Amino acid sequence: MKTSKYILTVLFFTVASTLSLSAQDTIMDRNVTVEREYKPVIQDAGKINSVPEVLEPKVEKTATSYSQFNFPLNADFNIHILPAAELEREKRREPKSGFARVGFGNNVNTLADFAIPVINKPDMRLDFSLNHYGTFDSKAHSVTKSALSFDKYFKKFDLYAGIGGGHEYLKYYGNNYNRSNSVVNLDTLAKYSGAAKYFEEDLIRINRLPHNYTLNSLASDSTSETFWRFNAYAGFRSLPLATGLRYLAEMQYKVFDSRNGLTEHLIKSQGGFSTERDKNRLGIDLEMNNLMYRSDNPAMLNFWNSYTVFSMNPFYSFERTNWNIRLGVKSAFSFVHGRPFNPSPDVSAEWNVIPKYLSVYGGITGGYSVNTMDKMFTENRYLFPDVRVKDTYSPYDFYAGVKIKPIYNLLLDAYFDFRKIDNQYFFVNKEYSLTSSSITFPKAESSLFTNRFNVIYSGATHLKMGVRANYNLRNLINVQFKGAYNKWEVSSEDYAWNKPKWEADLSANVKITRNFSVDGNVFVDGERYAKLGDFSIPMRPKVDINFGASYSYFNWFTVFAKVNNVINNPYQNFYGYDVQGFNVLAGAAFSF
């Protein structure tokens, strides 16, 4: 007993290690980041064992969000699928070693994929991949990235490493507004009185005061942006089915570079271990994030030079055939800025009431999220160049759900999630207020809202209730549905800006013949509001309908076509930025 208490005490207060990540792969662990980080960081640099999809490609939709980063529905946490309830898939043809895919469409939409295993052995892989998605019309946005990943399997552990980089280009094509919510042209206003001075509002000060800008300077801001990303990682981990000691240790280095803004360097050390204890498991996950920033124009940009976040998650888990329980505590320590100590519970359970047919799950957790620039400019690429979003802390998050498999091919998952967030961020158009001018401006132009975005903060609670469903008939028909209702309570704002009240996503794929298949997708985001000064602006609901088809001429050659935004709905992901309307993409895929 004394030994157990001593071990638990050490685990709770160990700060010496700089490693973190769950080495556990149980179905009750609902932390999306843990599950995702257990795999290489570079996005599946060449998971070429998924090549059969090339024979029946589902073309990535580039028309709406112009990148694979934005998804219409975010479930917020892991979908708890019972291994016993996973739907059977028909056996596919033996995949080829590599593949290539190209596509072209109107509005100069482009798609290109290439992947090949450099080394392909039962116990070792070295994969290379190159991916590109883009559109090059007036709403230009493109993402190009490449990666090299290595895996070497030993008897009891896996050694892995990788390196990758990417280039992202975009245009600031969105509208600028005045305080009356009318579209304005900054070039035209500058000709009227270019020396007029405007003061930037709602700056979260870090190392500079808010600036005064002339209309000439606002009008001459760059109309485009370029991001460069680089990442490298290396680590080792026990195999997923390991018994006894389970462990992981990993180092990452990531760089995010903005042409008009900051350069961010992230050194992340993470790892963890767990060991058997009286048929149960005792373990800890640890993580250290070290972030450093640099700018070619530090006097004009707003940033921390560096800061560190350390987190630890000791836990004790019970793993049985039909039930699991995890008891733990999460603690995050932020140095330099923010709350120094950020604790939250980590308690979860799942019970297979009727194995293969019914399971219930629930828990209370929380957490601390490091909002790196890489992450935030992926979420909203139109942010103002020096916006550094504060980290997000959720002291508690209750969730519960039930998974039902009423018939062989149908799986249902209904859930609710209620969380408290201390400093939820919301995207709002960057605001400037007139301070001086040699001529009299119309009252409407006393405030300007540009097509770059700022961030404001508020305490909030978020209730989400949703359902997920999947139906598969011998892999000939596959239908998936996700729907959710969101209720936000925001302490210092009228609305949870840009957050939808309703979300839904329906997709289906039908194999007409062995070589010919069709697919469709409909997604909807309901009531949302944007903020312009003191005004709440209703945004057009997102309704997007897409159809596609593919035909395999040979085992190694497929042609495909995709029709996106069929109803030509000019909705906006962010206020002022209409998405691309009706468009078509067609191409071919080759496996070799």
The CATH number for 494's domain is 2.40.170
CB within 8 A of 531, min separation 6: which ones?
Answer: 426, 428, 429, 456, 493, 494, 495, 497, 537
| Closest C-alpha among 128, 76, 30 to residue 362 | 30
CA 506 to chain centre: 20
- Are residues 285 and 22 in contact, defined by beta-carbon separation less than 8 angstroms? yes
pTM: 0.82
Question: Quick check: is 557 in a domain?
Answer: yes
Q: pLDDT (tens digit, 0 to 9) for every residue of the chain, 592 residues total?
A: 444 443 334 333 333 333 333 333 332 333 322 222 222 222 222 222 222 222 223 333 333 222 222 222 222 222 222 222 222 222 333 445 899 999 999 999 999 999 999 999 999 999 999 999 999 999 999 999 999 999 999 999 999 999 999 999 999 999 999 999 999 999 999 998 999 999 999 988 887 889 999 999 999 999 999 999 999 999 999 998 888 899 999 999 999 999 999 999 999 999 999 999 888 999 999 999 999 998 887 777 777 788 999 999 999 999 898 999 999 999 999 988 778 999 999 999 999 999 889 999 999 999 999 999 999 999 999 999 989 899 999 999 999 999 999 988 899 999 999 999 999 999 999 999 999 887 888 889 999 999 999 999 999 999 999 999 999 998 899 999 999 999 999 999 999 999 999 999 999 999 999 999 999 999 999 999 999 988 999 999 999 999 999 999 888 899 999 999 999 999 999 999 999 999 999 999 999 8
Helices (H) and strands (E) in the chain, counts: 6, 28
- What pLDDT sits at residue 96? 53
| Closest C-alpha among 510, 525, 514 to residue 471 | 510
User: Residue 36: helix, strand or coil by DSSP?
Assistant: helix
Question: Quick check: is 317 in a domain?
Answer: no
- Are residues 21 and 38 in contact, defined by beta-carbon separation less than 8 angstroms? yes
- C-alpha distances (whole Å) from 54 to each of 112, 483, 562 are 12, 28, 15
Rounded to 5 degrees, φ, ψ at 513 are -130, 180
CA dist., res. 329 & res. 317, Å (int): 12
Length of the chain equals: 592
Name the amino acid, one letter, at 46.
Answer: G
- Are residues 580 and 136 in contact, defined by beta-carbon separation less than 8 angstroms? no
| Closest C-alpha among 122, 124, 102, 99 to residue 112 | 102
Question: Quick check: is 237 in a domain?
Answer: no
CA dist., res. 60 & res. 569, Å (int): 19
What 8-state DSSP symbol labels residue 581? -
In terms of DSSP H, where are the helices of 155-266?
Answer: 186-193, 215-219
Question: Quick check: is 230 in a domain?
Answer: no
CA dist., res. 79 & res. 76, Å (int): 9
What 8-state DSSP symbol labels residue 574? S
CA dist., res. 557 & res. 592, Å (int): 9
- C-alpha distances (whole Å) from 18 to each of 181, 290, 528 are 49, 10, 41
**For the CA atoms of the chain, what is the radius of gyration?**
25
Rounded to 5 degrees, φ, ψ at 388 are -115, 105
Tokens of 469: 């469903």
CA dist., res. 382 & res. 415, Å (int): 33
Give the total number of structural domains in the chain: 1
Question: Quick check: is 330 in a domain?
Answer: no
Strands 323-335 and 306-319: antiparallel
CA dist., res. 483 & res. 466, Å (int): 5
Tokens of 576: 């002022």
Q: Which helix (H) or strand (E) holds 8?
A: helix 2-13
User: Residue 564: helix, strand or coil by DSSP?
Assistant: strand
Question: Quick check: is 495 in a domain?
Answer: yes
Range of the domain at 147: 21-225+358-591
Q: Which helix (H) or strand (E) holds 347?
A: strand 341-354
CA dist., res. 458 & res. 436, Å (int): 31
| Closest C-alpha among 519, 544, 482, 468 to residue 85 | 468
Question: Quick check: is 300 in a domain?
Answer: no
CB within 8 A of 98, min separation 6: which ones?
Answer: 48, 51, 114, 115, 116, 117, 591, 592
CA dist., res. 427 & res. 431, Å (int): 12
| Closest C-alpha among 522, 442, 526, 532 to residue 481 | 522
- What pLDDT sits at residue 474? 84
Place of tokens 């662990």: 29
Q: Which residues pair with 429 in a beta bridge?
A: 453
Question: Quick check: is 554 in a domain?
Answer: yes
